[in-house]
Amino acid sequence: MDSWNEWVEQTLEKLESRKLLRSLRPIHLSDDNSHTDEFECFDGLRQWDRASVEVEILETTFQKWLQDIPSPGDDLGGSGVAYTEAGTSAGGFRKLILFSGNDYLGLSSHPSVIKAATQAVQKHGMGPRGSALICGYTNYHRLLESSLAELKSKEDCLLCPTGFSANMAFMTAVGNVSLLLAKDSQPSIDERVAVFSDALNHASIIDGIRLAEKQKSVAAFVYQHCDMHHLNELLTNCPMKKKVVITDSLFSMDGDFAPLVELVKLRKKHGFLLAIDDAHATFVCGKTGGGAAELFNCISDVDICIGTLSKAGGCHGGYIACSKKWKQLIQSRGRSFIFSTSTPVPIAAAAHAAVIVAKKEMWRRRAIWNRVQDFRDLTGIPITSPIISLIVGSEAKALQASRHLLEFGFHITAIRPPTVAPNSCRLRIALSAAHTLDDVKNLTAALSQCINFSEIGFYCTSWNAARL
């Protein structure tokens, strides 16, 4: 990857010569919760973990959902309702088991995460409000960045307000390499960056590429989902020198992994920059929770690792784990980072606690993968991750199945266009370490009454490149 290192260095030199390099200068807030030994950890599931998978809705809302009547969103009620054995309450609430969230480890309700946020908010409120380059970057943010860089085995890390903004910032920074190194005011076709994107990549990657295309700084190529033969063909026939391949590591709507081992082989052959969106694999995969690259033993071959703290981290925010030079480039030219208010201090404190707890409480990863095995055993469906995509076809079938599960006390949303392609509507089930074996048994029993496990579509392969 010597070529990319050289291009980034040249881009930084251009920015420095134009006085456009931007620096992060942390504001120090006293009594930060930086002592990792203060985070209490546990050796197994506790009652508070269930708060991440147990929700309640008003009975009136429940009836609207059953009839597919749109809700205005204001039919909310109080809390502290005692449930009956039937699952309803005297106060008109109904209890549901959540199988549609992304809190894979149940960390959103962990005492150490709650304590970190509480202590920070009591000392500092929301913290300085401003973009990270103005006044919104503190020692809390720096501590979180350092812990994520260590988790991802990268030189550094840049926090972003969301995972969406992280992908947008990275793609616009990539585009700036060609903009700043072009001989003329606009880069020629050959001077642009060729970006190769999986057909099922997340919308944030797609929108980032679209923005860079609008600036005429990149040329986009979409390869068929996880098709390394197609990608190799595109790479071989592309005359552009600057190449980037970007992919989700674990696809959020299909539950399959990108073929990282094969991607690494192609990287060595073609010399492209490899970036992955590790949003759904971080903390879940790998011995330490380092994500898909750790799982497939190719950490050093992934150049850029983008992710979020709103999934298995149980908190909020995005990040880009990368080299120090890439960080300097992105923080100087990544528009969605530059022009967004930074993460509130209590969220940064909570997220740092979540990073530490997720790494130490290894039983959570064992628990979620046990639930994956349980679902496989009970249904015979060869799922490979905690994301289960059961394709039922039409919107009507998906909505009917979702309503059926609702009656049995399970919150599972029907996924429909434009999120997925027409006629590939599905039930997206997300397993959690906070789910029990009984939860999975009850769910699969209810599922068996509305779908045929032997006939269900598993992976969506028909979603085409028209999304880009």
The span from the CA of 342 to the CA of 129, in Å, is 7
The token duo for 223 is: 């390869």
> Quick check: helix, strand or coil at residue 381?
coil
Phi, psi angles (nearest 5°) of residue 451: -140, 155
Following DSSP, what letter does each residue of 398-424 receive, concatenated? Answer: HHHHHHHHHHTTEE-PEE-TTSS-TT-
The token duo for 364 is: 């959570």
What per-residue confidence (pLDDT) applies to 137? 97
Contact 357, 106 (CB under 8 A): no
Hey, which of 151-155, 380-384, 451-455 has the most confident mean pLDDT?
Answer: 151-155
Average pLDDT in the 309-315 region?
97
Average pLDDT in the 118-124 region?
96
Give residue 460's pLDDT band: very low, low, confident or very high (50, 70, 90): very low
For 63-116, write each residue's pLDDT tens digit: 888 887 776 666 655 444 333 444 445 458 899 999 999 999 999 999 999 999
What per-residue confidence (pLDDT) applies to 412? 95
Contact 27, 140 (CB under 8 A): no
What per-residue confidence (pLDDT) applies to 86? 41
Give residue 454's pLDDT band: very low, low, confident or very high (50, 70, 90): confident
The span from the CA of 374 to the CA of 144, in Å, is 34
19, 174, 196, 212, 441 from 177: Cα distances, Å = 16, 5, 16, 11, 52
Q: Looking at the predicted structure, is the pLDDT value of residue 167 above 70?
A: yes
Percent of the chain with pLDDT over 70: 91
Q: What angle do CA 55, 60, 65 make, to 5 degrees?
A: 70
What per-residue confidence (pLDDT) applies to 459? 40
Q: How many CB atoms lie within 10 A of CB 456?
A: 17
Average pLDDT taken over every residue of the chain: 91
Give residue 16's pLDDT band: very low, low, confident or very high (50, 70, 90): very high
For 238-273, write each residue's pLDDT tens digit: 999 999 999 999 999 999 999 999 999 999 999 999
For 354-396, write each residue's pLDDT tens digit: 999 999 999 999 999 999 999 999 999 999 999 999 999 899 9
Give residue 14's pLDDT band: very low, low, confident or very high (50, 70, 90): very high
What per-residue confidence (pLDDT) applies to 422? 87
Q: Looking at the predicted structure, is the pLDDT value of residue 467 above 50?
A: no
Average pLDDT in the 335-360 region?
97
Percent of the chain with pLDDT over 90: 82
8, 298, 313, 379, 381 from 369: Cα distances, Å = 39, 21, 17, 15, 15
SS3 content of the chain, % helix, strand, coil (to 5): 40, 15, 40
**b/e per residue, 418-441, with b = 16+ CB within 10 A?**
eebbeebbbbbbbbbbbbbeebbe
Give residue 9's pLDDT band: very low, low, confident or very high (50, 70, 90): very high
Give residue 466's pLDDT band: very low, low, confident or very high (50, 70, 90): very low
What per-residue confidence (pLDDT) applies to 419? 84
Helices (H), ranges, 128-286: 139-151, 163-181, 203-214, 228-236, 260-270
What per-residue confidence (pLDDT) applies to 66? 85
Contact 412, 65 (CB under 8 A): no
Q: Looking at the predicted structure, is the pLDDT value of residue 468 above 70?
A: no
What per-residue confidence (pLDDT) applies to 33? 58
The span from the CA of 230 to the CA of 212, in Å, is 23
Burial of 449 (0-12, 13-18, 19+ CB in 10 A): exposed
Size of the chain in residues: 468
Q: Looking at the predicted structure, is the pLDDT value of residue 32 above 60?
A: no
Q: Looking at the predicted structure, is the pLDDT value of residue 19 above 50?
A: yes
Average pLDDT in the 292-313 region?
98
For 185-240, write each residue's pLDDT tens digit: 899 999 999 999 999 999 999 999 999 999 999 999 999 999 999 999 999 999 99
Confirm whether pTM is higher than 0.85: yes
Average pLDDT in the 336-347 region?
97
